[in-house]
Structure 1
Amino acid sequence: MGDEFDDLLAANAAYAADFKGGDFDGIAHAGVAIVTCMDSRIDPLRMLGLHHGDAKIFRNPGGRVTPQAVEALVLGVHLLNVNRILVIPHTRCAMTASTQEELRERVGRSAGQDAAWQEFDVVEDQMAALEEDVAKIRSHPLIPHSVKVGGFLYDVDTGRLERML
């Protein structure tokens, strides 16, 4: 096969050479689940002082609580030791800076084809979206009230996390 992944496979070989996580049981040892954006400026474990095995992390554009995120949270709460959930969007998020039409046009131009059919989960009001997402989790019938749910905002320029809800 080609060379396009060789650098990553070499890095993985170095990582695996002294890998000590093979006996990990897969639960969230700190009892934490995080829903956040896919933005590469976010390092979910390190920003909270957590380590390998401490948390379940679900990432998507905009850090929204989608049906797939809810599925992950329900599984985390009932099967993987999760008792605290953090929803963490961030400053300067691309999903807050563009309209649906703008994203479709930009993607279409990059793809060289019409992208008008593609849905993007654009965030028009980040605080309203965070309130909606936190409420969605808190009111879900399969997530008990004993599970603590918080809404936060991560500042990509300072690394600071601020509790909003």
Structure 2
Amino acid sequence: MTPGPDTPGSATHGSDKDGFADLLAANRAYSDSFDLAGFDGVARAGVAIVTCMDSRIDPLRMVGLEPGDAKILRNPGGRVTEQVLVALVLGANLLKVDRVMVVEHTRCAMASASESALQARIGEATGTDATWMFLGAINDQRAELAESVHKINSHPLIPPHVKAGGFLYDVDSGLLEHVV
């Protein structure tokens, strides 16, 4: 079905010139039962989850947590980048994070093609050369998880009591495999 002017996914949503009216309406409904007012922002369950931006992943529900329980860090592939390490340093030292789950997943676009193949696909989609941009293709998810856990465990500003683990999430079953 091709989106029409008033259907979700359309550019205009009728009189909504910016295309966000449906999301703002949902937000107003959400705020009617909002119960995190005054919450201090610490990770109540002491958990940080680093995972992919893939919309098939529901980071809190997949491990039985709720809003306010964990810090969620998402990026393509669920990689532990320098910015993720900054967030984990803050989380571990200021926001009561003492467990870090690094979660990659099956059928991930970042692990299904080489860096040059991903760049070519972006170039085709945009009509612009994308070979200059590092996208972060993952050649071996298990090795990447081991490297990510090592980055966390060896970081001088992340206290040694913080436990890190690497997991592979199966997008077809919803199960996590503890890899490292």
Q: Classify the TM-score, shorter chain.
A: over 0.9
Give the alignment's TM-score, normalised by structure 2. 0.89
The equivalences for 1:144-163 within 5 A come to: 144-163=159-178
**In 2: Cα distance, 1:102 partner to 1:2 partner:** 36
Residue 125 of structure 1, CA deviation: 0.7
Residue 26 of structure 1, CA deviation: 0.4
**Unmatched 5+ residue regions in structure 1?**
none
**In 2: Cα distance, 1:137 partner to 1:20 partner:** 32
Structure 1: which amino acid aligns with 2:55? S
Give the alignment's TM-score, normalised by structure 1. 0.97
For 2:92, the equivalent position in structure 1 comes to 77
Q: 134, 145, 148: which one pairs with 1:119? A: 134
For 1:64, the equivalent position in structure 2 comes to 79
Question: Which structure ranks higher in relative contact order (CA pairs < 8 Å, sequence separation ≥ 6)?
Answer: 1
**In 2: Cα distance, 1:106 partner to 1:141 partner:** 38
Flag as ranges the 4+ runs of structure 1 deviating above 4 A. none
For 1:130, the equivalent position in structure 2 comes to 145
**In 2: Cα distance, 1:14 partner to 1:77 partner:** 33
**In 1: Cα distance, 2:120 partner to 2:166 partner:** 31
Aligned length in residues: 165
Matched, 1:10 2:46: no
Based on CA coordinates, which of the two structures has the bigger radius of gyration? 2
**In 2: Cα distance, 1:21 partner to 1:144 partner:** 28
* CA deviations over 1:10-37 (Å, ceiling 9, x no partner): 1111111221212111000000001111
**In 2: Cα distance, 1:69 partner to 1:126 partner:** 18
* CA deviations over 1:61-115 (Å, ceiling 9, x no partner): 0101000110000000000000111111011111011111111111111112111
**In 2: Cα distance, 1:122 partner to 1:3 partner:** 33
* 3-state SS, counterpart of residue 89 of structure 1: strand
Structure 2: which amino acid aligns with 1:118? M
**Unmatched 5+ residue regions in structure 2?**
1-15
- Over aligned residue pairs, what C-alpha RMSD do you find? 1.0
